[in-house]
Amino acid sequence: MRKTVKSMSVLLLVLGLIAVLFVPVFAKPIESTSFRDPVVSPMKPSDTYSSSIVEVGYLKGAVQKEDQSMAPVGRTDEQFGSNGLVIKDLSGKEKVKACFYFPGYNYKWAGNVYRWSGTKWVKQTTTITNDPAATPMACASGLGNGTYALIIYYWGPQEFPAVATTLPV
């Protein structure tokens, strides 16, 4: 009886190892780390405008930090949260609404839409809403011609790097 149990255990172990080696594994694809482009809409249906996307690395008033993220000049505790947006060809009283995707909003990140003044980023009145897929978006209304960006910051507990320790033997 002992010999049979021992033989069955060895057989199951061998079959398990074979299954691990030859059974296909299906991995979920990694979501893209690239930014989703902001969305622009006119305040009135008759308003006309044109807009273009500016990649974060090409925004005016931006510097690259040591961790490779892009930050507004002089504000190393913040960073750009998406690609920027240039709005132009608005005339007179025409205005638009711009919304920037902000998936990190629910994970101890906060931020606002800012406008580039030519020398600094100026905070715009911002509201957080959800798109139909429940992705948070930072939106600003009543915007005119100019360059806009979402600038974000982390407000959660400070994270410390792991420190290697040696234990006595």
In whole angstroms, what separates CA 120 from the centre of its chain?
22
What type of residue sits at position 75? R
Domain total in the chain = 1
Nearest-CA neighbor of 78 among 90, 93, 67?
Answer: 67
> pTM for the whole thing?
0.70
Is 29 part of a structural domain of the chain?
no
Is 44 part of a structural domain of the chain?
yes
Measure Cα distances from 127 to 87, 110, 149 in Å: 19, 11, 14
Is 59 part of a structural domain of the chain?
yes
* Average of per-residue pLDDT values in the chain: 81
126, 136 in Cβ contact below 8 A?
Answer: no
Is 5 part of a structural domain of the chain?
no
Is 160 part of a structural domain of the chain?
no
Is 103 part of a structural domain of the chain?
yes
| CA distance linking residue 76 with residue 73, whole number of Å | 8
For 69-109, write each residue's pLDDT tens digit: 888 988 878 988 889 999 999 988 899 999 999 887 777 88
Strand partners, 41: 97
Q: Which domain range does residue 64 map to?
A: 39-154
In whole angstroms, what separates CA 92 from the centre of its chain?
34
- How many CB atoms neighbour CB 98 within 10 A? 24
Is 123 part of a structural domain of the chain?
yes
pLDDT recorded at residue 34 = 55
Is 138 part of a structural domain of the chain?
yes
Residue 17, pLDDT > 70, answer no
Return the H-helix or E-strand segment holding 71. strand 70-72
pLDDT mean over 31-51: 80
